[in-house]
A and B are shown apart, each in its own frame.
Chain A
Amino acid sequence: MRDYAKEVLEGSVRAAARLISWLEDEDPRALEHMERLYAHTGRAYVMGITGSPGAGKSTLTDKVTFALRKKGLTVGIVAVDPSSPFTGGAVLGDRVRMSRLTMDPGVFMRSMATRGFLGGLAKATGEVVKVLDALGKDVILIETVGVGQDEVDVIRLADTTCLVLVPGLGDTIQSMKAGVMEIADVFVINKADRPGADQLYAEVTTRVEQDASIRERAWTPPVMRTVAVDDEGIGDLVEAVEAHRKFLEESGALEEKRRRRAREETLQLIHGELYRRIRDRLTANGELDALVEAIVQRRESPYRAMQHVVARWMRE
């Protein structure tokens, strides 16, 4: 068997790509490699780019990556697109806007389908970020799905989350669901060349000011304007992200963020593994079928069944 962990640490694109596939497939072979990579993660800075479909996320990702490359930084990109709930298939089209990055050895770009995972990311996105981190990328950009406004999972992975809003796409403050405005560390008003951009900018700025007056915050999200297609405002956006990074580092918030992430992740892993083990055993010995039968007939309740299964498992 190939030593993928070692190869990833040596910079092998091939090994990283295959390990990512295993992670996406939840192939148990990935575990051993991830275990060995883990010590080499935590160095990359993770940026999330989220917003409605068509807001310009991919175009921005391309431009921001280009700007970071000019600063001498290497970049990993994870772009997530939705899987069809009907066919399980997906068209992953984000590369179209990033063609010029393909041949740059300092950039690794991976498209991912959600495979039924909600929240704007794929289930394995967090693991993929770690692989790119171990591969040595300085900055990792996550482009989220963007089908509605419930895609807030990115804040769990990103150190800085950029919320992209555009005029004319129904991105008004009034239409914004509760909690969406709050995810932004940096607001990006993209398509600033379009009518309505000034109004949207004013609306968002006012909102940010109001928020700050209601409750004092350690960080006030800046509101940036960009015309991604024309590469306008990108330098300022990168600076805004850097300012946020500096704030996180100096205030200790970055460490706190990462500690919270490690905690959630560990609990999630334990949850997943326990679930898998118990499910496998219950299905292998036919106990689950018997329980389901009893539950359907109301001879047993799912609550009691759960307590019995868990209690017995804990004893063993």
Chain B
Amino acid sequence: MTEDRKIKIIVAKPGLDGHDRGAKLLARIFAEAGMEVVYTGLRQTPEMIVETALQEDADVVGLSSLSGVHMYFFPRVVELLREKGLDDVLVVGGGIIPKEDIPELKKAGVAEIFGPGTPTAEIVAFIKNNVRTRD
């Protein structure tokens, strides 16, 4: 069968703030788009997120942040992924992120940042177009 390979995505919410409505919604959106979404819950450290990506053999890590910790957390996740040899894993971010932070995050290896109100179809399309082809 030449059916499309399933995309596996980790949806994680790093940091300490206690809302996961946004992340849960994202998880549902990705599942609707046919992906297999590993939802990890709240208060994930970058180390936990990367270990999860490793065990789950995830293609994508989606990070959601509201608490302003993205400048530390997002690059740290990319860095740890590289350390583990998972440099082909696509990292995308979302949440409330000031525009001026975006260039630096991208320079650090975050593939794309989606602000609030980004059409979900756009996020899904970006992932589908940029996900690795697994050997």
Contacts and interface: CB of A to CB of B under 8 A. Distances in A.
Interface in A1-35: 13-14, 17-18, 20-21, 24-25
Contacts of B37: 89-92
B39 A93 contact: yes
- Bin the interface of chain B by size: 20 to 34
Given A93-B39, A97-B41, A110-B55, 19 more contacts: A14-B84, A21-B134, A24-B6, A84-B31, A87-B34, A89-B33, A89-B34, A90-B31, A90-B37, A91-B28, A95-B41, A95-B52, A99-B41, A99-B43, A99-B48, A102-B48, A108-B55, A111-B36, A111-B56
Residue with the greatest number of chain A CB neighbours at <10 A, chosen from B6, B55, B85: B55
26 contacts: A17-B56, A18-B57, A21-B8, A21-B57, A21-B134, A25-B6, A83-B36, A84-B31, A87-B31, A87-B33, A88-B34, A89-B30, A89-B35, A89-B37, A91-B37, A91-B39, A93-B27, A93-B41, A99-B41, A99-B48, A102-B48, A103-B47, A103-B51, A108-B55, A111-B38, A115-B6
Contact of B32 (A18, A87, A110, A111): A87
B54 interface: yes
B67 interface: no
**Chain A interface SS verdict (over half):** mixed
A96 interface: yes
Nearest to A83: B36
B47 A20 contact: no
A272 to B, nearest CB: 13
Interface of A: 13-14, 17-18, 20-21, 24-25, 83-84, 87-93, 95-97, 99, 102-103, 108-111, 113, 115
**Chain B interface SS verdict (over half):** mixed
A113 B52 contact: no
A18 B52 CA distance: 13
Residue with the greatest number of chain A CB neighbours at <10 A, chosen from B6, B32, B41, B52: B6
Contacts of B32: 84, 87, 89
Identify the 10 closest CB pairs spanning chains A and B, nearest first.
Answer: A89-B31, A96-B41, A17-B57, A21-B57, A102-B48, A89-B34, A88-B34, A93-B39, A91-B31, A92-B38
Contacts of A96: 39-41
A20 B51 contact: no
A111 B47 CA distance: 18
Nearest to A107: B55
Contacts, number: 80
Contacts of A14: 54, 84-86
Residue with the greatest number of chain A CB neighbours at <10 A, chosen from B38, B43, B84: B38
A96 B10 CA distance: 12
A90 B54 CA distance: 19
Contacts of B30: 89
Interface in B12-49: 27-28, 30-41, 43-44, 47-48
Residue with the greatest number of chain B CB neighbours at <10 A, chosen from A18, A88, A108: A88
Contacts of B107: none
